[in-house]
Amino acid sequence: MRSCRRNALLLGAALGVGCSGTPAPAVDAGPPDLAPSNALVAARRYEYQVPPGYDPARPTPLVLLLHGYGATGFLQNAVYGDFAGFADRTGILFAWPEGTQEAGGGKHFWNATDACCDFAKSGVDDVAWLDAVIDDMSAHFNVDPKRIYLTGHSNGGYMSHRMACDRAGRIAAIVALAGDNWKDLARCQPSAPVAILQVHGDADDAVKYEGGALYPSARESVLGWVKKNGCAPAADGSPLPLDLDTRAAGAETSIERWAGCQPGGAVELWTMHGVGHVPSLDGRWPEAIWAFMAAHPKP
């Protein structure tokens, strides 16, 4: 087990998430533990985890977790109710890359959309970087090409949308928590349907549920995918809301699903009523979002 790093403690304090009592995931590091398979991975580290009982002869799903702006993969895993532990128990290959650190020791970020979060205009190509991580994991492990998934919070949610737009041929599904697509949805031109789960608190004061000047609302993000995935225009409400936030009373998360999508193109919107930018999540969260991802491999 790894002890909680100082930067994770500082970021946890800022986000209202502590490390005390939260087990750090037991992980392997990317290079140099494995010989890097491409130049991007040789120059930039990422972390990964291989589940017990991994069978090299069996294609195995891969999930990438993308942290929020100013966070790290280590902290994001804690916010996500320990997805690493869930992946370990469920037999999922799991990786969490780090975004680029701003100059002068600033915050880590993903260059996802014009809204978030390459504020210094570095132009770093994070689509290519995440491609390289997937390529590297696939070079070393038997990654099922039909079951490659991304999930991220805030800036990581934006980046998940960006990958679905730009790499629709290889990404089966994304789960974006409090992160949106391009404001100009014409900039998202997927080559194939992608299963999309948008999760957003309607009391979010950082990335507003109703959208902002540079980013669409949660519903606009979803409706853009409804059109791109060829779904029916009207959603079906779920009679069974979910209880995902430990601070909110009762089952705070309502579910809307769009039917009739092209194969591989499911779309859902989960609205967390009364919940802010950083939900209080526990082990129910990994289980819930994995159920969505697992149900939507590439056709």
For 132-178, write each residue's pLDDT tens digit.
Answer: 999 999 999 999 999 999 999 999 999 999 999 999 999 999 999 99
- Looking at residue 245, its pLDDT comes to 97
- Tell the residue number behind the tokens 């998940």, with chain if given: 160
Q: Is the pLDDT of residue 253 over 70?
A: yes
Strands (DSSP E) found in the chain:
28-29, 46-49, 60-66, 93-97, 100-101, 108-109, 143-153, 173-177, 195-201, 235-237, 253-258, 267-272
| Residue 184 β-bridge partners | none
Q: Is the pLDDT of residue 8 over 90?
A: no
- The residue among 167, 176, 171, 181 whose CA lies nearest residue 148 is 171
- Looking at residue 33, its pLDDT comes to 67
- Looking at residue 154, its pLDDT comes to 98
How many Cβ atoms are within 10 Å of 221's Cβ, its own excluded? 28
- Looking at residue 34, its pLDDT comes to 76
Q: What pTM value is reported for the model?
A: 0.89
Q: What is the CATH code for 22-294?
A: 3.40.50.1820
Structure token digits, residue 16: 């209202």
- Give the ranges where 46-203 is alpha helix by DSSP (H): 73-79, 83-90, 126-140, 155-166
Inter-residue contact 112 to 159 (CB < 8 Å): yes
